[in-house]
């Protein structure tokens, strides 16, 4: 079995992993880097350029896992593409949005090769995606594996509890098993229910490490954190502030809207206007439409109906004043320059009355990462095309990650007790903490941090 990490660094960038197993050549995920532009935003496909892929398996619809799939499909026209039906619906909306973003960036950044793919190409590609149900063994031909096939190569999607449609993928061949967690959460969120992952022994575990450098705070509970957020919003409203919450369009937006619904129902907060972005609205529609069909909390909750949010876009954001007593749950979560959350943050960051609340992961080098770590009075550059600004607004930090805590990841690895553990999807410090801890806790396992671009024999 061969494995190549196709990311450009040990980081949460453009996730993509090559796997050769029982004579089949596969790629797991095909993301777009959240900060890099142009060719650098793609995974590094040099190591596989002379290999013809049989299949591409997508774990979920976040940009860093599906964002450059049309480019890989163009380069690998014979590869079959597999994902859940929900991820297909989400992925199609995300990729079309990405074409619009790249078309705009072509002018703003002068990136001549943008857009990396077109609307037409995205449409013709999505027609070729094959939808797989959860918990069913599928063959490389895309068929449900018959009992007599069970010795051959199969893959199976498991609910990862991270965002709608998210999965981990179990691959079986030649009597060996390899499990890729994708992005996972082993705890319930406000909407998503915890992952249901394989519990039996497996041979190789490829595991995400997003929160590897964060210890779970003593006494942390999600319910307690929800109350703390409600109190912070109330306190901000008391001083006539508007509240900006930078969120990812997929997952974080819907979890936050659900919390706001809950706060109103529990009379923790009065009714107040809420604003979201256009892609967030599309993703929320998919959450609402699939509410009754997916395994989740609050299956009858219809977010758009309950919250009735105003939708902001690249044009009307410039005329939208920061109104007192209103909540702006805007993407992007990392506050990438020119996105709604970045434009809005630059408008309020120097005003001591206003509030910005962070509710999840942000790359430490992204504008959101820089701002959340800034001290009051510090100068920050949130957009390289704009002047530096002094941080004077209230900054709040809340822990509502859509990713598993490092403690639950370690527990899971111990339960499966694999022979080899491959650590991916983490910043260097996060991966290093996980490597050191697993080496001590599982002395029989080989713990591997895969060097990008280097072929490993597993």
Footprint of Zn ion (CB under 5 A): 62, 64, 183
Q: How far is the CB of 454 from Zn ion (least distance, A)?
A: 22
Closest CA to 303 of 271, 335, 281, 331: 281
Q: Is 80 exposed, middle or buried (0-12, 13-18, 19+ CB in 10 A)?
A: middle
How many residues in total does the chain contain?
458
Least Å distance between CB 61 and Zn ion?
A: 8
44 vs 208, beta carbon nearer Zn ion: 208
Give the residue with the Cβ less far from Zn ion, 18 or 248: 248
Residue whose structure tokens are 């660094």? 9
* Among 172, 180, 313, 321, CA closest to 249: 313
Min separation Cβ 333 and Zn ion, Å: 11
For residues 298 and 22, give the distance between their C-alpha atoms in angstroms, rounded to a whole number: 42
Nearest CB to Zn ion, comparing residues 64 and 226: 64
Minimum distance, C-beta of residue 387 to Zn ion, in the bound complex (Å): 32
Closer CB to Zn ion, residue 40 or residue 308? 40
Which residue number, 156 or 183, has a Cβ lying nearer to Zn ion?
183
If the CB atoms of residues 251 and 337 are measured against Zn ion, the closer one turns out to be 251
In the complex with Zn ion, which residue's Cβ is closer, 207 or 327? 207
CA distance 350 to 379: 10
Sheet of 129-131: strand order equals 129-131, 80-83, 55-57, 24-28, 17-21, 2-5, 455-457
CB of 439 to Zn ion, least distance (A): 24
Query: Taking the complex as a whole, how short is the minimal distance between the CB of residue 32 and Zn ion, in angstroms?
Result: 11
The smaller minimum CB distance to Zn ion, of residues 62 and 211, is found at 62
The token duo for 304 is 């758009």
Rounded least distance, CB 236 to Zn ion, Å: 28
Min separation Cβ 425 and Zn ion, Å: 6
- We find the least distance from the C-beta atom of residue 64 to Zn ion, in angstroms, to be 4
Q: Residue 60 CB: number of other CB atoms within 10 A?
A: 27
Q: Which is nearer to Zn ion, 33 or 62 (CB)?
A: 62
**Residue 280: closest CA among 312, 327, 244, 323:** 312
CA distances from 369 to 37, 237, 246, 438, 452 (A): 18, 25, 11, 27, 24
Instruction: Find the helix packing angle between 222-238 and 252-265, rounded to 10°.
Output: 70
Cβ distance 139 to 55 under 8 Å? no
- Does an H or E element contain 180, and which? strand 176-180
* Cα separation, 227 vs 410, whole angstroms: 28
């Amino acid at each position: 079995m061969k494995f190549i990490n196709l990311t450009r660094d040990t980081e949460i960038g453009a996730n993509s992993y090559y796997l050769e197993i029982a004579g089949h050549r596969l790629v797991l995920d095909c993301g777009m880097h959240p900060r890099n532009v142009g060719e650098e935003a793609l995974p590094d496909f040099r190591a596989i350029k002379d290999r013809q892929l049989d299949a591409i398996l997508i774990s979920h619809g976040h940009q860093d896992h599906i964002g450059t799939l049309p480019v890989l499909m163009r380069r690998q026209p014979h590869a079959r593409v597999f994902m859940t039906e929900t991820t297909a619906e989400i992925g199609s909306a995300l990729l079309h949005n990405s074409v619009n973003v790249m078309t705009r960036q072509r002018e703003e950044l002068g990136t001549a090769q943008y857009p990396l793919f077109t609307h037409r190409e995205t449409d013709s590609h999505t027609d070729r995606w094959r939808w797989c149900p959860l918990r069913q063994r599928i063959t490389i031909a895309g068929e449900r594996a018959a009992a007599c096939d069970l010795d051959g190569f199969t893959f199976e999607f498991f609910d990862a509890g991270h965002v709608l449609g998210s999965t981990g993928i179990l691959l079986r061949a030649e009597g060996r098993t390899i499990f890729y967690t994708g992005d996972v959460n082993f705890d319930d969120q406000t909407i998503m229910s915890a992952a249901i992952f394989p519990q039996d022994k497996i041979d190789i575990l490829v595991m995400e490490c997003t929160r590897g450098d964060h210890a779970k705070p003593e006494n942390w509970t999600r319910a307690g954190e929800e109350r703390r957020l409600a109190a912070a919003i109330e306190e901000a409203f008391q001083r006539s502030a508007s509240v900006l919450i930078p969120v990812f369009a997929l997952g974080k937006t819907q979890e936050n809207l659900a919390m706001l619904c809950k706060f109103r129902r529990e009379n923790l907060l009065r009714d107040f206007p809420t604003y979201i972005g256009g892609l967030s609205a599309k993703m929320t529609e998919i959450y609402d439409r699939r509410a009754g069909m997916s395994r989740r909390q609050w299956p009858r909750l219809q977010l758009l109906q309950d919250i009735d949010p105003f939708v902001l876009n690249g044009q009307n954001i410039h005329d939208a004043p920061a109104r007192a007593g209103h909540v702006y749950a805007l993407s992007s979560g990392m506050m990438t320059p020119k996105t709604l959350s970045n434009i809005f943050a630059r408008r309020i960051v120097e005003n001591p009355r206003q509030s910005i609340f962070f509710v999840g992961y942000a790359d430490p080098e992204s504008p959101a990462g820089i701002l959340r770590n800034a001290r009051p009075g510090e100068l920050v550059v949130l957009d390289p095309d704009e002047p530096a600004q002094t941080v004077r607004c209230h900054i709040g930090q809340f822990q509502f990650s859509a990713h598993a805590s490092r403690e639950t990841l370690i527990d899971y690895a111990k339960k499966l007790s694999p022979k080899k553990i491959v650590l991916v999807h983490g910043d260097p410090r996060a991966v290093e903490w996980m490597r050191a801890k697993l080496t001590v806790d599982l002395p029989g396992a080989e713990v591997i941090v895969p060097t990008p671009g280097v072929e490993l024999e597993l």
